[in-house]
């Protein structure tokens, strides 16, 4: 009884939020043209993505730095791309954080790395985004804005960082998100491990790969990079990582190769 009351209250609250944050038709259309990988063949999926985008805008706080202006177009661009991976999983998966920080240019992080002899090397790493447990999620706007052009390379910074958020929902960033009922952790890990090792070898051999070579740095990066490609360049991703594609399809509850309109897939 209480559960039913809670559900009823929550859906009434979400309906009110979706109305309050309704996205104007022209802005939504422009967003879909700019980021074609957001388009869905099924009108019900398309409507759900738009509703989740509104709810995302309602629940999260955007903070623009360095003189960058917070516009509706910027917020909707980010919210829609962040909502895509949780179209079936539900927005509650992002409840662990509230804030997003958006930068006008790449952020340089000072890193340290100890080599095999224990010698510590310092270096600068330019970041296009970063996700931390408990938030905030950091994103670099020019990379987000270019997501339509960079899709054929399988590159998408918003999906990358939100894959990390999903991965960290069970505590550890290890390439294993909280799997839905019916999915086996063992099967996930063995596919991820096998494909990761093969990918590392291909990157070391300087082969041309569908996935961003950055995925060869750690299993959790491999999961994030594979998720980007799964959503924005699914045909190539499936051709090179068939078993992993299956696992991601079961996890996300989506099949981008069939969910995307044919004209979007053919445009590659």
By the criterion CB under 5 A, which residues form the site for Zn ion?
221, 224
Q: At closest approach, how far in Å is the CB of 157 from Zn ion?
A: 9
In the numeric block, which tokens belong to residue 162?
């939100």
Q: At closest approach, how far in Å is the CB of 166 from Zn ion?
A: 12
Q: Cβ distance 137 to 101 under 8 Å?
A: yes
Q: At closest approach, how far in Å is the CB of 164 from Zn ion?
A: 6
Query: Which of residues 161 and 240 has its CB atom nearest to Zn ion in the complex?
Result: 161
Query: Which of residues 31 and 215 has its CB atom nearest to Zn ion in the complex?
Result: 215
Sign of dihedral through CA atoms 141, 143, 144, 145? positive
- Could you list the beta-strand ranges (E) of 104-141: 107-114, 120-127, 129-131, 137-140
DSSP 8-state secondary structure symbol assigned to residue 179:
P
Q: At closest approach, how far in Å is the CB of 232 from Zn ion?
A: 16
Q: Cβ distance 102 to 73 under 8 Å?
A: no
Q: At closest approach, how far in Å is the CB of 207 from Zn ion?
A: 21
Q: Cβ distance 220 to 236 under 8 Å?
A: no
Query: Which of residues 167 and 233 has its CB atom nearest to Zn ion in the complex?
Result: 167
Query: Which of residues 82 and 264 has its CB atom nearest to Zn ion in the complex?
Result: 82
Query: Which of residues 84 and 137 has its CB atom nearest to Zn ion in the complex?
Result: 137
| Gyration radius from the chain CA atoms | 19
């Amino acid at each position: 009884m209480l559960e039913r009351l809670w559900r009823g209250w929550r859906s009434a609250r979400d309906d009110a939020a979706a109305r309050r944050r309704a996205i104007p038709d022209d802005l939504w259309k422009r967003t879909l043209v700019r980021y074609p990988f957001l388009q869905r063949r099924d009108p019900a999926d398309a409507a759900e993505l738009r509703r989740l985008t509104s709810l995302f805008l309602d629940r999260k706080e955007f903070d623009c730095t360095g003189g960058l202006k917070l516009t509706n177009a910027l917020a909707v661009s980010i919210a829609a791309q962040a909502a895509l991976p949780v179209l079936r999983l539900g927005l509650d998966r992002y409840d662990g954080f509230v804030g997003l920080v958006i930068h006008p240019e790449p952020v340089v992080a000072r890193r340290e790395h100890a080599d095999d002899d224990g010698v510590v090397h310092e270096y600068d790493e330019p970041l296009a985004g970063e996700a931390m447990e408990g938030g905030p999620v950091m994103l670099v706007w020019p990379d987000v804005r270019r997501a339509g052009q960079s899709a054929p390379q399988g590159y998408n910074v918003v999906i990358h960082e939100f894959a990390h958020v999903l991965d960290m929902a069970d505590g550890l960033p290890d390439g294993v998100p909280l799997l839905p009922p019916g999915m086996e952790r063992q099967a996930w890990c063995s596919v991820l491990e096998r494909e990761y090792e093969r990918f590392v070898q291909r990157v070391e051999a300087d082969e041309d790969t569908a996935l961003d070579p950055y995925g060869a740095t750690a299993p959790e990066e491999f999961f994030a990079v594979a998720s980007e490609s799964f959503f924005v360049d699914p045909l190539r991703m499936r051709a090179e990582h068939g078993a992993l594609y299956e696992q991601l399809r079961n996890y996300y509850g989506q099949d981008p190769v069939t969910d995307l309109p044919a004209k979007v897939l053919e445009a590659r």
